[in-house]
Amino acid sequence: STFSTPVTVSLIEGDGIGVEITESVKRIFAKAGAPIIWEDCDVGPIIKNNNTAIPDKAVASIKKNKVALKGPLATPIGKGHRSLNLTLRQTFGLFANLRPAASIQGYDFLYKDIDFVVVRENTEGEYFGVEHQINDDNVVSIKLITSKASEKVIKFAIDQAAKIDRKKVVVVTQETVQPKTDGLFKKTGESLASYNKDIEIEFELLETYIYNSVKDPKKYHDYVVVAPNLYGDIITDLNSGLAVGSLGMTPSANIGTDVSIFEAVHGSAPDIAGKDLANPSAMLFAGCMLLEHVGLGEYSEKIKKAALATIAEGIKTGDLKGKSSNTEYTNAIIAKL
Ligand code: NAD
């Protein structure tokens, strides 16, 4: 790790429940003794040259610290506003989205003992965002795939597999239907066969992968799954639904070459904001991914263990069919630490 302790982290509290769950994370990290200094960061949004932009001060903070923990941001409603999340991804070149989804003891969902790890390409594909209106009844969308972005994200998936001790990477595409775009993604994967001789690279059609992941999800315990942007987006949400069943539990990491931003997958939950009902776990586990990223995995283990044990004992928030408030759940974790 290139980070020296204490690690300064840019903290974007976010909107809605962001305020409450950020407070929980800060309290739990402090009790665990994690050597983190939080640097509060207001990301705006501001409008610059007719585009959504992030204030210079926030950009400077994140560039300097190289790591940020981010609460949910409400997308401003109205024409001409690009989503701030997309803006962050583009501003910092966050090329890979890493999303684990594992079953939780004490909250059985559709399946037990599921443990998916998926890496989604985060910058191109259909999300490149170019669509054309030919006329009222005919439209086209442009999907961009480059060997450069494909190589970066597949290499990241292989590195991740090595790091978390999985033996295989499966590259998921629909190259039968999209031989040029998905074909290039797959070919790039094939060219990386000897990138790490300890990790085997396999290939699966999207339709086969989806079928297998629902029919026999444990098959993927040995794998890191990597896919182009849109497929990755769908696969990660499917996995969260299969394994976890609450948005309040799922973290993700947006990885760039220089900067990485860790966040909860859920939004600002305006329906429960300010009521002390939010589950802070997704943001807490995003913080844990950050700890692992900066070489402080021991604190991550300690915090995750305390949170999961608290849930297993039945102290859990409403999204997990529990009766505890955010504060009660947070206090119980702190008591364990
Ligand atoms: P949402 O994720 O905010 O809420 C969906 C449902 O899940 C709601 O019923 C909410 O109460 C519940 N929920 C979400 N997080 C929870 C938690 N931690 N604990 C308990 N329950 C939780 O999705 P939405 O309502 O469609 O979006 C609200 C706003 O958030 C929008 O402005 C949207 O653009 C934004 N958003 C931001 C992000 C992000 O910053 N990464 C992601 C998704 C949505």
Q: What is the pLDDT of residue 156?
A: 97
Packed helices 56-65 and 84-92: angle between N→C axes, nearest 10 degrees: 50
CA of 28 to the centre of ligand 1 (A): 22
Nearest CA to ligand 1 atom 38: 267
Q: How would residue 176 be classed by pLDDT, with cut points 50, 70 and 90?
A: very high
Q: How would residue 83 be classed by pLDDT, with cut points 50, 70 and 90?
A: confident
Any ligand 1 atom below 6 A from CB of 290: no
The residues, any chain, with a CB within 8 Å of residue 231's CB and separated by 6 or more, are 120, 125, 172, 173, 174, 206
Any ligand 1 atom below 6 A from CB of 291: no
pLDDT for residue 47 is more than 70: yes
Any ligand 1 atom below 6 A from CB of 124: no
- Give the global pTM: 0.93
Rounded Cα–Cα distance for residues 8 and 336 (Å) = 26
Ligand 1 closest atom vs CA 280: 18
The residues, any chain, with a CB within 8 Å of residue 106's CB and separated by 6 or more, are 308, 311, 312, 313, 314, 316, 320
- Choosing from 23, 104, 247, 279 the residue with most ligand 1 atoms within 8 A of its CB, the one to mutate for a pocket test is 247
CA of 93 to the centre of ligand 1 (A): 24
ipTM of model: 0.97
Identity of residue 330? T
Q: What is the pLDDT of residue 223?
A: 97
Nearest CA to ligand 1 atom 40: 72
C-alpha angle 125-131-136 in degrees, rounded to nearest 5: 145
DSSP 15: S
Q: What is the pLDDT of residue 78?
A: 59
Rounded Cα–Cα distance for residues 288 and 299 (Å) = 8
Distances (CA, A) of 20 to 50, 76, 276: 32, 20, 7
Q: What is the pLDDT of residue 234?
A: 94
Q: What is the pLDDT of residue 260?
A: 97
The pLDDT tens digits for 202-237 are: 999 999 999 999 999 999 999 999 999 999 999 998
Average pLDDT over residues 158-185: 97
The pLDDT tens digits for 4-44 are: 999 999 999 999 999 999 999 999 999 999 999 999 998 87
Rounded Cα–Cα distance for residues 185 and 154 (Å) = 9
- H-helix or E-strand spanning residue 143: strand 138-144
- H-helix or E-strand spanning residue 209: helix 206-215
Nearest CA to ligand 1 atom 8: 269
78: region left, alpha or beta (phi > 0 left; psi from -120 to 50 alpha): left
CB of 62 within 8 A of CB of 29?
Answer: no
Ligand 1 closest atom vs CA 278: 19
CA of 89 to the centre of ligand 1 (A): 19
Any ligand 1 atom below 6 A from CB of 74: yes
Query: If you average pLDDT over each of 72-76, 83-87, 105-109, 155-159, which comes out highest?
Result: 155-159
Cis before residue 45, ω within 30 degrees of 0? Answer: yes
DSSP string, 179-198: TTHHHHHHHHHHHTTTSSTT
The residues, any chain, with a CB within 8 Å of residue 70's CB and separated by 6 or more, are 12, 14, 88, 261, 262, 263, 286
Q: How many CB atoms sit inside 10 A of residue 53's CB?
A: 19
Residue 104, both tokens: 């939780």
Any ligand 1 atom below 6 A from CB of 319: yes
Computed over every residue of the chain, the mean pLDDT equals 93
Rounded Cα–Cα distance for residues 71 and 261 (Å) = 10
Candidates 317, 268, 263, 267; CA nearest to 288 is: 263
Give the phi and the psi of residue 236 in degrees, each rounded to 5: -65, -40
Q: How would residue 80 be classed by pLDDT, with cut points 50, 70 and 90?
A: low
Residue 93, both tokens: 């070149």
Packed helices 18-32 and 326-336: angle between N→C axes, nearest 10 degrees: 10
The pLDDT tens digits for 112-139 are: 888 999 999 999 998 877 889 999 999 9
Any ligand 1 atom below 6 A from CB of 314: no
